[in-house]
Structure 1
């Protein structure tokens, strides 16, 4: 007779609501969904990103709209959600923006995201950006503007930098983070602990896909690609094709037998001659799907568009495993509020 388990005192965790801005390929939204958040609205200003989001989550309310033009008064379902989240365009330092003598649309988007807090009134906020925004003196004036607005709205907050490699992503990828809570809930918040498992290398992650078309050297290549990936750079939407980053990053890719100057349409076939000694022709390029794996996307997550647009979406995404870890830490705070006042023992 099969024993039964008494689950009378075990109940599923309640789902939480969120609004996602600048959603891109959905890395942040996917990780937050895995952590228990269901978005009532997801917005991005690029048609191809919205197509990707609808392709994977047709039930989500996905809107193609510029954050600077979004008015929450017209979408009352966003009011009083648990979390407002966004992976925002990379903010330039004020010194860099001044040297270029141009406007700063990325900073405008950051300010718009902070302004949106007033209209949405979320219990928590999660914004992701460049690590320099968190730790460099050049950005102090930007942080001061954000701090002033959050203080005015009654939110307490923390800045921090986390590395996606510590959360199961096979890539050295630092991200700058702002987490804020309404009132004193920040006293309950703890940044997610790094995973205890060993890092998964590029070779381990991509070996099976490299051999999918019969490439005889797939296992040999994977054995020497025994490190995590350098930071994958999505690049500018306004110029250039798909490649794996600046010159320094390309040199790192070359040391593990990867051609970082381009992105392939397919993995190698059985006739490909892998010979790094002869230069680029002997290096293996990665496909968009493989880059997505190095970002921590699951294989079933589909990316819409042509190759360069697909690569841009993947390369600029927040790695879903990192988003899941952050979402779990935030959800823990939000679900704990019925348990009584916070007991702060240090952070």
Structure 2
């Protein structure tokens, strides 16, 4: 009897800019996209990419300095994907790096002229897709894409509806050539209830013999607030602003710092103790809350590793978007996504 091997889904090509720690590229890889090139301007992020995927071609450069003429393998890729720094509307927020963030968005759109991908995916803050303050930016993007023959759509996804134990909203831009946009369907929320912090981290909390890990996990019965990586220019590693820290405290987590290791046998469990006596999370635990697999390593010291985690695109969200784009391009991975 001849045994037929199961056919593998066709691998599509991808250029990933502002690749960071690889969350966007990893999710797209799981959806069947093979990166021909990844670029980021931070040495530690490039080190993380090479550490996890030695075969990936990684270029350490600023997107504003990138010239496709020097890397012609990026021409005519199936997908141009960008996990850009969060753009702020100048009318709403005045910050010294806001102009640079806007320039990176513009540079990604202008890169379309040379690369001419079949599809474009940009992930950013949810307000970029919906708020009136960003109307001028969306209008400029729409005009440029229309000029190039692409149709596009802005929408918002919440990571908690796609297997990520975190309330994290993403503004998404998808553009496809011509009529291909008619076949694009936004990823539908999963039917299963969102994963809670306790479910995601209970096992790791018990790894060093903390006797209260089960009790801690039982009361951490909700999704995490949005992890915030913070600025590379200032501050240490913590889990977010005041509101986020209060939400963490309700789960008996100290959101004001990041731990070197999970609690040991002697770590206290006393509801009367203050925030500083609550257990902080490790970088590895925050990575689980972003949907990274346990074997994905991050280069650098603790603060640099947490910055990469907090600013990453959750891989499960990227995978869902990648599958939706594959289907619109006529390359579904299996009957479920046809």
The two structures have a TM-score, normalised by structure 1, of 0.93
On the 8 A contact 1:127/1:177 being kept in 2, the answer is yes
**Pairwise CA distance, 1:184:** 1.3
**After superposition, what is the alpha-carbon deviation per residue over 1:250-306, rounded to whole angstroms, capped at 9, x for unaligned?**
000000000000000000010000224220232110000000000000000000000
2:133 aligned residue (129, 135, 138)? 138
Alignment of 1:226 with 2:221, yes or no, is yes
Q: Residues 100 and 289 of structure 1: is their aligned pair in 2 closer, same or farther, counting only changes over 3 Å?
A: closer
1:312 aligned residue (293, 296, 307)? 307
**Pairwise CA distance, 1:73:** 1.1
1:292 aligned residue (287, 290, 302)? 287
**Structure 2: runs of 5+ lacking an equivalent:** 333-338
On the 8 A contact 1:209/1:267 being kept in 2, the answer is yes
Residue 336 of structure 2 corresponds to none
Residue 57 of structure 1 corresponds to 53
- Could you say what secondary structure the match of 1:94 adopts? coil
- Could you say what secondary structure the match of 2:106 adopts? helix
Matches within 5 A, 1:1-347: 7=4, 11-97=7-93, 99-100=94-95, 104-336=99-331
Q: What is the alpha-carbon distance in structure 2 between the residues aligned to residue 112 and residue 102 of structure 1?
A: 15
**Pairwise CA distance, 1:199:** 1.4
- Could you say what secondary structure the match of 1:90 adopts? coil
On the 8 A contact 1:49/1:304 being kept in 2, the answer is yes
Query: CA RMSD of the aligned region, Å?
Result: 1.5
Runs of 4+ aligned structure 1 residues displaced above 4 Å come to: 4-8, 99-103
Q: What is the alpha-carbon distance in structure 1 between the residues aligned to residue 315 and residue 269 of structure 2?
A: 32
- Could you say what secondary structure the match of 1:159 adopts? strand
- Could you say what secondary structure the match of 1:175 adopts? strand
Which range moved further: 273-282 or 234-243? 273-282
Q: Residues 84 and 250 of structure 1: is their aligned pair in 2 closer, same or farther, counting only changes over 3 Å?
A: same
Q: Residues 336 and 313 of structure 1: is their aligned pair in 2 closer, same or farther, counting only changes over 3 Å?
A: closer
Q: What is the alpha-carbon distance in structure 1 between the residues aligned to residue 311 and residue 96 of structure 2?
A: 25
On the 8 A contact 1:258/1:284 being kept in 2, the answer is yes
On the 8 A contact 1:276/1:282 being kept in 2, the answer is no
Q: Residues 336 and 264 of structure 1: is their aligned pair in 2 closer, same or farther, counting only changes over 3 Å?
A: closer
Count of residues in correspondence between the two structures? 332
- Could you say what secondary structure the match of 1:184 adopts? helix
Q: What is the alpha-carbon distance in structure 1 between the residues aligned to residue 30 and residue 98 of structure 2?
A: 37
On the 8 A contact 1:83/1:126 being kept in 2, the answer is yes
- Could you say what secondary structure the match of 2:255 adopts? coil
